[in-house]
Amino acid sequence: MVIQDRKLTHYLLVYQAEDDKSEFLARAGYKLQNWQLLKRDILKAMESAEIAEVTRTDWGTRFKVKSEWVGLNGQRLEVITIWQQDEGTSTARFITLYPDKLRSTDTDREK
């Protein structure tokens, strides 16, 4: 599994006017200054993650993966990550992540 550093440092941890994820990640303690820790935690979470959906595309196979982990400040994150294994390669590359709102809602109801 490969995560391009630029995905974290120029996209996920930087405010985006549309579809921003930096605020979600900041609530768990992830900031641009510690982007390496986010990368580490995403990869570590994949060790016990659940593949929720597999889709064939013109470019390869795309995976929707559900995972959860505890952020830097102790807050639990329930996340969906998207990975793609391009045609002719053996490694999945990270595309994006977003909150798993369905699981977060279920967890909130249990409290």
d(CA 90, CA 82): 16
The structural domain count of the chain equals: 1
Residue range 27-83, pLDDT digits in tens: 999 999 999 999 999 999 999 999 999 999 999 999 999 999 999 999 999 999 999
Structural domain including 48 reads 5-110
Residue range 9-25, pLDDT digits in tens: 999 999 999 999 999 99
> How distant, in Å, are the alpha carbons of 1, 5, 68, 101 from that of 42?
10, 12, 9, 18
